Amino acid sequence: MKKFIRLFVLLFTVCLLSLSFSSVCADPTDPPPVPGHGQNGGDPVGAPIDGGVGILFLMGAGYAIRKLYSVKKEKAKVVS
């Protein structure tokens, strides 16, 4: 069991060191563009809000309908 643990620790250490050396030796990337401007440096580009809000609204409406249906079904079981 001790041999297994030592082997595991050794392999883990070797993998960790090899990953750290590869990230240190990697080529540097380009600096990020100036915030708030498009790729060509023109007008600022805004984030679209409508897509996410619409999806959240539809999911909330679906959840509300499901809850109302289950409450109505439970009331029908209690009355019967």
Contacts of 41 (CB under 8 A, 6+ apart): 34
Mean pLDDT for 8-21 is 76
pLDDT bracket for residue 44 (50, 70, 90): low
Residue 58 predicted with pLDDT over 80 = yes
Backbone angles phi, psi at 28, to 5 degrees: -70, 150
**How far is Cα 73 from Cα 65, in angstroms, rounded to an integer?**
12
Write down the pTM of the prediction.
Answer: 0.38
Q: Which of 4-8, 19-23, 67-71 comes out lowest in average pLDDT?
A: 19-23
Rounded average pLDDT over 14-43:
65
